[in-house]
Amino acid sequence: MRKALAALLLAALTLLHASPANADVVDQQWLAKKPAKNGTYILGHGVFSVTGLDPDRYKPTGQLTLRGQVIDAADRQDALCTWVVFRITYYDYEQALPKQTRRQFRSCVPGNRVRLAFEHRDVSKLEVKVCWTEMGALPGRECVDSWQPIFTAFP
């Protein structure tokens, strides 16, 4: 009787700690590119994962974890910074609304690689773009390049 009860308890604990059968995991690489006269600059790269996607939801969301680097490919003579800007679309379940936020990272030393990392909950879409600004400026309206999609949970 004790062995049967112990086996039942062990099975129940295993089910509690197991991820749901419909959970999905996305592990991919990302690139941030900027067109140039001589081709394309790759100014940011890394990996990301999205866990906990539920395909049975109307609009699935998941936990985003992203890591990578920003690379300043500017000339040594200019005083520009390279920015990699992420636009994150997530769902606020308390207010039942989709929302957007941004995370931005920069490198101001030519050839220098700056590491970046962040996490965000309930993400449904992730986009990136690259900007160059003056040394003390933040990316603003002069950052006119289009957003490059990295991840979309649903069409």
Residue 12 belongs to a domain: no
The reply to whether 9 falls in a domain is no
Domain total of the chain: 1
Confidence of residue 12 (pLDDT cuts 50, 70, 90): very low
CATH number of residue 29's parent domain: 2.60.40
Instruction: Classify residue 92: in a domain, yes or no.
Output: yes
Answering whether pTM is above 0.85, one says: no
Closest CA to 68 of 3, 130, 22, 134: 130
pLDDT tens, 87-99? Answer: 999 999 888 899 9
| Residue 66 lies inside a defined structural domain of this protein | yes
**Closest Cα partner for 91 from 48, 61, 55, 49?**
61
In a domain, 50, yes or no: yes
In a domain, 58, yes or no: yes
The 3-state secondary structure of 54-117 reads CCCCCCCCEEEEEEEEEECCCCCCCCEEEEEEEEEEEEECCCCEEEEEEEEEEECCCCCEEEEE
Q: What range defines the domain where residue 86 resides?
A: 21-152
pLDDT tier, 143 (very low <50, low <70, confident <90, very high otherwise): confident
**Would residue 2 count as lying in a domain?**
no
What tens digit of pLDDT does each residue of 58-77 get?
A: 778 899 999 999 998 777 77
Count Cβ neighbours within 10 Å for each residue of 29-43 and write b for 16 or more, e otherwise: ebebbbeeeeeebeb
